[in-house]
Chains A and B, each alone.
Chain A
Amino acid sequence: MTKARENSDYTGLQGDLAGLQTNITAGDTAARAGRKNLIINGAMQVSQRGTTMSNSGANSSYHTLDRWQTHGSGGTYNLSQQTMTAGTSNQAGGCSKFARFSVITGDNNLGLRQCIEDVESIPAGYTVAVSFYAKGTAGKVIGTFIQSIFGTGGSTSMSHAGSISEHTLTTSWTRYTSTFTMPSDYLTGKTIGANSFNRLQFRQPEADTSTTAWVLDVTGVQLEVGSVATDFEHRSYGEILADCQRYFYNPLYNLGGSRGQFTLDYLVSSGNNGWITWIVPFPVSMRANSTFSHSLTPAKFLGSAAPADGADNFSFYIQNQGYAGLVGNGSIANLGGGGQYHGIVGTYYCSPSSTSASHIFIGNGCTFQFSAEL
Chain B
Amino acid sequence: MENNTAWITSCKLNESGWQVNGNMSVPNDPANRDCQDVLAWIAEGNTPAPQYTDAEIAANTQAELNATSQAYLDSTDWYITRHAETAVAVPADVTTARAAARAAIV
Contacts and interface: CB of A to CB of B under 8 A. Distances in A.
Interface of A: 58-61, 149-154, 157, 193-195, 272, 287-299, 329-331, 333-338, 348-349, 367, 371-374
Interface of B: 1-2, 4, 6-7, 14-17, 19, 22-27, 29-36, 52, 54, 57-58, 60-61, 64-65, 67-68
Contacts of B52: 334, 348
B31 A292 contact: no
A338 B16 contact: yes
B interface majority secondary structure: mixed
B1 A193 contact: yes
A288 B31 contact: yes
B23 A194 contact: no
Contacts of A335: 23, 25
Contacts of B4: 59-60
Contact of B58 (A154, A194, A333, A349): A349
A149 B31 contact: no
A291 to B, nearest CB: 5
Contact of B1 (A153, A333, A334, A373): A153
B58 A336 contact: no
A336 B36 contact: no
Nearest to A328: B61
Given A154-B1, A349-B57, A349-B58, A293 B23 contact: yes
Given A349-B54, A371-B34, A149 B1 contact: yes
Given A336-B19, A337-B25, A338-B16, A291 B64 contact: no
A336 B25 contact: yes
Nearest to A369: B24
- Complex A-B, nearest 8 residue pairs according to Cβ-Cβ distance, in ascending order: A288-B31, A336-B25, A289-B29, A331-B61, A289-B27, A292-B25, A299-B68, A291-B34
A299 B1 CA distance: 39
A59 B2 CA distance: 11
A333 B60 CA distance: 9
Given A152-B31, A330-B57, 9 more contacts: A152-B30, A195-B30, A289-B31, A291-B24, A293-B24, A299-B65, A331-B64, A338-B27, A348-B57
Given A153-B1, A288-B32, A298 B23 contact: no
A70 B17 CA distance: 26
Contacts of A371: 34
Contacts of A331: 57, 60-61, 64
A333 B22 contact: yes
A367 B24 CA distance: 10
A373 B33 contact: yes
A97 B72 CA distance: 43
11 contacts: A61-B7, A153-B1, A195-B36, A289-B29, A291-B24, A293-B23, A295-B23, A298-B64, A338-B17, A338-B25, A371-B34
A289 B31 CA distance: 7
A94 to B, nearest CB: 33
A195 to B, nearest CB: 6
